Amino acid sequence: HLGSRQLLPCSPPLPPTPAQGMDAPTCCCLPWLAWRRGRRRAQGAPDSGPREEHSAPPEPASGSCAGKAVQAPLPAGGDDGGDAGALGPICRICLEEAREGEALVSPCVCRGSAKYVHLGCVQAAFKARGNWLDLVCPTCNRNYDGITAVRLGKIALEELKREFGERHSFVVSGLHNLGLAYGLIGDAEQERDLLEEVLQMQEEESYFNSGISRRHLRYGPEHANVAVTLVNLGNAYSRLGDLRRQKDMLERALRINEREHGPMHLQVAIALVNLGSVYGMLGEPVQQKDILERALAIMESELGPSHRHVAMTLVNLSIAYGALRQGERQRDLLERALRINEKEYGPDHRAVATTLVNLGQAYGRLGDAARQRDILERALSIKQREYGPDHVEVAKALVVLGTAHGELGDAERSRELLERALRIQERHFGAEHREVMSAIGSLGVAYGRLGDHRRKRDLLERMLRIMEREFGPEHCNVAVTLAELAQTYGDLGDHDHQAELLERSRGLEERGAAGRFYGGTAGAGEEQRQQQEPGENAKAPRHWHLAACCRRRRGRPAAGDETGSGAPGR
């Protein structure tokens, strides 16, 4: 697909402060939420509201969500954790090394001696603080992610229900937090179910105990906090493939936010970033570009041009420019995003890897396959260390890297990487899921380069079945796949079948489908599907290495090769 698109989850709203008597404006936090509201606040003691850093949009979901805890390496004389005499990294809380049955994890963006911690130590410290809506690391002031976020979210929700009962505004926020945490580990179904429960409670126009006075908090279908839930719920539906549902939710959220906050508010920018990605996945990159340019202007005005959260919008905007075949502009945006992310997170963070995947694809579209390969090798190394060798985020990088090796003439290495990516995706999504199409198509091209046209034919026919089921028989990319499949049948000597497929492909082109695609309006990439990255249902396939290969063979420029995401990023 075309790169990892990045979604902008919103933080769940907090109950009103005594001075307001109404809901405090909702804020966005790093990867998902986190409010500096403690136990005293929950019991009615006033505080100064959310910290300033939490008013910024979160970092990309596709780049920040960890599907599993990251186990610390244990090198002899390692220097990333303890002191010079230590055998390996140590827990920043108990100052002990990894124990049997409890490895060290890296749950946030802390680096150096503070990078690793026992999950049990994090939970104990969280319970001791008693700030159930504060899921931020006290060291780096960034949200916890991965399994750590889920564990803390469960503890918080249980404690909030015990202290305040089911019908309390704090419980709504805790439920929202837990839903987003599940999204961070890739459990989109659980995320969707929890956020649907939150939305239903908010839309009932019920009166919730605010916990700060005798006044109660009244929600309703047009409440500003409902918009926050709609954005996050839309992202969950996107990851489940229901792109149309996501689009409807984001458009509703945008209307609410513009009415409640005005056209230049960060909440408006967040909805715009997600909505722009949806338009890209639906094959409308011009609208995608216009929407994301507006979002970028808001974020730069509010946060400054070099803020870490601006980088996320730059990545998404670059995908639109890639779909419009403006490769230099795409590369420049990604180079800028990479500089911001490296300065903020360091050179080996997962957010940097997400940007590198997109940048590698951009160089590939500009014809610099060697530069593409080097960048993607670096991205793969980061993703494997952060997520483990069999994570779907690793599969995204493998698809793009495999394609790069194919373009450089190393078809055998390309096949090996793509076979590995396909195994990971099939295990995670299933053999007939839309997410496996990019790996299948790219692998088919690799087998064709190796001269195994029967294997290529089988893979392309499998991809065509999935594509027609997901996008319909008239979709623009169906024409591209049919043409490549026809050529494969010709290589096998079946010229009757070749002529039949070519006639069908030409018919689609005459009806304008292929013209829309080649003109760059059909889809930018994974995150075109996204990516992922937010939801990809009725959208154009997210990863189209095959389509790009077909266009190159016909002498046409590639509209965008995509990484096998998600995407969104992904």
Residue 218's pLDDT is 64
Contact between 170 and 160 under an 8 Å Cβ cutoff? The reply is: yes
Which of 42-56, 451-465, 496-510 is predicted with the least confidence, judged by mean pLDDT?
42-56
Residue 203's pLDDT is 80
Which of 37-41, 336-340, 437-441, 466-470 is predicted with the least confidence, judged by mean pLDDT?
37-41
Pairing of strands 216-218, 207-209: antiparallel
Over the chain, what is the mean pLDDT? 73
3-state DSSP assignment of residue 102: strand
Residue found under tokens 């001269």: 451
What is the distance of C-alpha 73 from the center of its chain?
26
Mean pLDDT, residues 498-518 taken together: 72
How crowded is residue 79: how many other Cβ atoms within 10 Å of its Cβ?
13
Residue 292's pLDDT is 95
Contact between 377 and 356 under an 8 Å Cβ cutoff? The reply is: no
Burial per residue of 231-241, b for 16 or more beta-carbon CB atoms within 10 angstroms, e otherwise: bbbbbbbbbbb
Q: In which element (H, E) is residue 425 found?
A: helix 411-429
Provide the pLDDT confidence category of residue 207 given band limits of 50, 70 and 90.
Answer: low
Tens-digit pLDDT profile for residues 353-369: 989 999 998 998 898 98
Distance between CA 507 and CA 403 in Å, rounded?
29
3-state DSSP assignment of residue 361: helix
Residue 241 predicted with pLDDT over 70: yes
Residue 493's pLDDT is 93
Mean pLDDT, residues 40-48 taken together: 34
Residue found under tokens 């920040």: 64
Provide the pLDDT confidence category of residue 563 given band limits of 50, 70 and 90.
Answer: very low
Six-digit token pair at 392?
């779907």
Q: In which element (H, E) is residue 550 found?
A: helix 545-553
Say what percent of the chain tops pLDDT 90: 28
Q: Which residues contact 551 (CB under 8 A, 6 or more apart)?
A: 480, 518, 557, 558, 559
Q: Is the N-terminal amide bond of 285 cis, ω within 30° of 0?
A: no
Residue 314's pLDDT is 95
User: Among positive and negative, which fits the CA dihedral 63, 64, 66, 69?
Assistant: positive
Tens-digit pLDDT profile for residues 536-547: 232 333 333 444
Which of 173-182, 283-292, 376-385 is predicted with the least confidence, judged by mean pLDDT?
173-182
Six-digit token pair at 193?
């179910």
Provide the pLDDT confidence category of residue 456 given band limits of 50, 70 and 90.
Answer: very high
Mean pLDDT, residues 133-156 taken together: 81
Residue 214 predicted with pLDDT over 70: no
Q: Find the DSSP H helices in 304-349.
A: 308-323, 327-345
Residue 26's pLDDT is 28
Residue found under tokens 């509010």: 302
Answer yes or no: pTM beyond 0.75: no
Residue 330's pLDDT is 95
Mean pLDDT, residues 321-334 taken together: 93
Residue 77's pLDDT is 36
Q: In which element (H, E) is residue 105 found?
A: strand 104-105
Which of 122-126, 320-324, 398-402, 529-533 is predicted with the least confidence, judged by mean pLDDT?
529-533
Six-digit token pair at 250?
């984001």
Higher pLDDT, residue 120 or 42: 120
Provide the pLDDT confidence category of residue 492 given band limits of 50, 70 and 90.
Answer: very high
Q: In which element (H, E) is residue 118 found?
A: strand 117-118
Residue 108's pLDDT is 80
Provide the pLDDT confidence category of residue 150 given band limits of 50, 70 and 90.
Answer: confident
Mark residue 141 as left, alpha or beta (left: phi above 0; alpha: psi -120 to 50; beta: remaining): left
Six-digit token pair at 316?
């998404």
Residue 331's pLDDT is 95
Higher pLDDT, residue 431 or 35: 431
Provide the pLDDT confidence category of residue 217 given band limits of 50, 70 and 90.
Answer: low
Distance between CA 246 and CA 44 in Å, rounded?
36
Contact between 61 and 568 under an 8 Å Cβ cutoff? The reply is: yes
Mean pLDDT, residues 94-113 taken together: 79
3-state DSSP assignment of residue 255: helix
Contact between 353 and 553 under an 8 Å Cβ cutoff? The reply is: no
Distance between CA 87 and CA 97 in Å, rounded?
8
Domain boundaries 39-239, CATH class:
alpha beta
Mean pLDDT, residues 23-29 taken together: 28
Which of 83-97, 207-221, 283-297, 316-330 is predicted with the least confidence, judged by mean pLDDT?
207-221
Counts for the chain of helices (H) and strands (E), in that order: 23, 4
Q: If you average pLDDT over each of 106-110, 118-122, 501-505, 565-569, which comes out highest?
A: 501-505
Distance between CA 59 and CA 249 in Å, rounded?
21
Residue 422's pLDDT is 94
Tens-digit pLDDT profile for residues 390-410: 888 899 899 999 989 998 889
Residue 272's pLDDT is 92
In Å, what is the CA distance from 404 to each residue of 401, 545, 555? 5, 10, 18
Q: In which element (H, E) is residue 216 found?
A: strand 216-218
Q: Where are the domains of the chain?
A: 39-239
Say what percent of the chain tops pLDDT 70: 72
Residue 205's pLDDT is 60
Distance between CA 264 and CA 258 in Å, rounded?
8
Higher pLDDT, residue 150 or 166: 150
